[in-house]
Chain A
């Protein structure tokens, strides 16, 4: 009780000398808290998702498009394209998708390139469509590009990739999943560099000289469910800043089970944990992307 009284007295003293800055601080904290509380979900759904999803019996998976880069240590950010890694990453994403869908009753048909021109064009068109969703369907963004919200796009997901009824009928599917993303795989040098920069920024902040540090997004994956009319029924996106370092949760282990840090880990990350060619990483991202769909599709 005594300590409470002392605290109250202390606050009273402070109030006399620094009430205005305290109010400013309080307002800033309240605004930040409000921002956290109202953070909208990253996924977007078509208003008729649940109705249309009911008539979807069989779903196809189109070839994932994954841009691979090696993130190398340098003075700035150096990304070296590694196109030769892309097939392996796309392969692991496909396996992860098959693994995730095995638990559901609807079968998954894996569709390759050049099997149906219409479907290849859909994948191609998904690039600019996704760019426009990212720019116009969100009011806030933590990406480099500032958002440019279009009111009707923020309200509903209403983008199309053009109809592909015949192509989907020939493949025996009612809808297709499209997956697209990038992976900046850090070298050990890049990881060490980021770790050192982070430590230096903490030291600088303690010395009241905060310095900005850059963290390169390691993995970004997006997916869309598209029906025969080309309508995007569901869209979701996730990146390594939101999902955190991989390997923290194994898909084959019970949910919530954490990996035990082993030798070779640096700052909680192990080489290969930020690489979509690692089956465990691919599975973790696909699982996260699909979890919102599973919730929304049955509503």
Chain B
């Protein structure tokens, strides 16, 4: 009898834990992306640590902190997404799944991986144009990306920092979609101390890119890097 009661209790605890598992957030407004895992923080004596990122979620959009990155979408990550990633100069991998890898599953299935595909490293005080070359090199090197075409490369101020802004088209080489539509990305990036901050908007070239491009510009304006 006691065994049965304990089994039932165990099931109840499991169910309760499932309810606590993080998932897509549907609340808009101002939010804060916490600093990345301390494991990747700079060693003692080196430059300042990573910044938190504050941002405003557009109304009707959904967001999820994937590993240490932020992913925001309205219709689904394979149609449109705003993405924030922070990469330390020595970083060699990027946690894209987090603890509960089945949660917000599609965010982990999106296949591009900046850190994994780097063929050059970001360096502190790198100029925006040099940082852009590193980012473009990563996309060129990414096994999930095909038909990459850079359309525009400029600079702009993002969150008070001088950043590059690159616009590129690509297709996905990926088992999920079989035949990929054409995607377009706007990627803005800057170096702050030992950290690279990348903020991007990616959507299918047909329909979804134009539909939400203005929403991304408003989102970009809302981004702030906040010292811990």
| A132 to B207 CA separation, bound complex (whole angstroms) | 15
Nearest to A182 among chain B residues (CB) is: B178
Residue from the list B26, B104, B177 in contact with A151, Cβ < 8 A = B26
Tell me the count of chain A residues lying within 8 A, CB to CB, of chain B: 29
Residue from the list A124, A132, A148, A150 in contact with B179, Cβ < 8 A = A124
CB distance from B71 to the nearest CB of A (A): 12
* Contact call A136/B76, Cβ cutoff below 8 A: yes
Contact with B along A122-164 (1 / 0, CB 8 A): 1011011101100110000000011010111100000111110
- Considering only residues 226-255 of chain A, those with a C-beta below 8 Å from chain B are 230
Would you call B181 an interface residue if the criterion is a C-beta within 8 Å of the partner chain's C-beta atoms? yes
- A24: which B residues are within 8 A, CB to CB? 4, 8
CB distance from A9 to the nearest CB of B (A): 22
What does DSSP make chain B's interface, helix, strand, loop or mixed?
Answer: loop
Residue from the list A21, A122, A132 in contact with B4, Cβ < 8 A = A21
Would you call B23 an interface residue if the criterion is a C-beta within 8 Å of the partner chain's C-beta atoms? yes
* Contact call A148/B75, Cβ cutoff below 8 A: no
Residue from the list B26, B102, B178, B180 in contact with A67, Cβ < 8 A = B178
| A127 to B207 CA separation, bound complex (whole angstroms) | 14
Nearest to A158 among chain B residues (CB) is: B75
* Contact call A135/B76, Cβ cutoff below 8 A: yes
Tell me the count of chain B residues lying within 8 A, CB to CB, of chain A: 28
- B103: which A residues are within 8 A, CB to CB? 146
- B109: which A residues are within 8 A, CB to CB? 145
| A160 to B204 CA separation, bound complex (whole angstroms) | 12
Would you call A48 an interface residue if the criterion is a C-beta within 8 Å of the partner chain's C-beta atoms? no
* Contact call B206/A148, Cβ cutoff below 8 A: no
| A180 to B25 CA separation, bound complex (whole angstroms) | 31
* Contact call B78/A128, Cβ cutoff below 8 A: yes
CB distance from A62 to the nearest CB of B (A): 14
CB distance from B203 to the nearest CB of A (A): 10
What is the number of contacts between chain A and chain B, taking CB atoms within 8 Å? 73
Asked whether A145 and B105 contact (CB < 8 A) given A21-B4, A132-B79, the answer is: yes
Would you call A121 an interface residue if the criterion is a C-beta within 8 Å of the partner chain's C-beta atoms? yes
Contact with A along B166-208 (1 / 0, CB 8 A): 0000000000111111000000000000000000000010110
Would you call B106 an interface residue if the criterion is a C-beta within 8 Å of the partner chain's C-beta atoms? yes
Nearest to B107 among chain A residues (CB) is: A148
| A161 to B211 CA separation, bound complex (whole angstroms) | 12
Nearest to A147 among chain B residues (CB) is: B105
- B78: which A residues are within 8 A, CB to CB? 128, 131-132
| A230 to B1 CA separation, bound complex (whole angstroms) | 60
* Contact call B207/A124, Cβ cutoff below 8 A: no
Would you call B219 an interface residue if the criterion is a C-beta within 8 Å of the partner chain's C-beta atoms? no
* Contact call A20/B76, Cβ cutoff below 8 A: no
Spell out A's residues near B (CB within 8 Å): 20-21, 24, 65, 67, 121-122, 124-125, 127-129, 131-132, 135-136, 145-146, 148, 150-153, 159-163, 230
Spell out B's residues near A (CB within 8 Å): 1, 4-5, 8, 23-24, 26, 60, 62, 75-76, 78-79, 102-106, 109, 176-181, 204, 206-207
- Given known contacts A65-B179, A121-B206, what 14 new A-B pairs fall within 8 Å (CB)? A65-B178, A121-B181, A122-B206, A125-B204, A131-B78, A132-B75, A132-B76, A132-B106, A135-B106, A148-B105, A152-B60, A153-B75, A162-B207, A163-B207
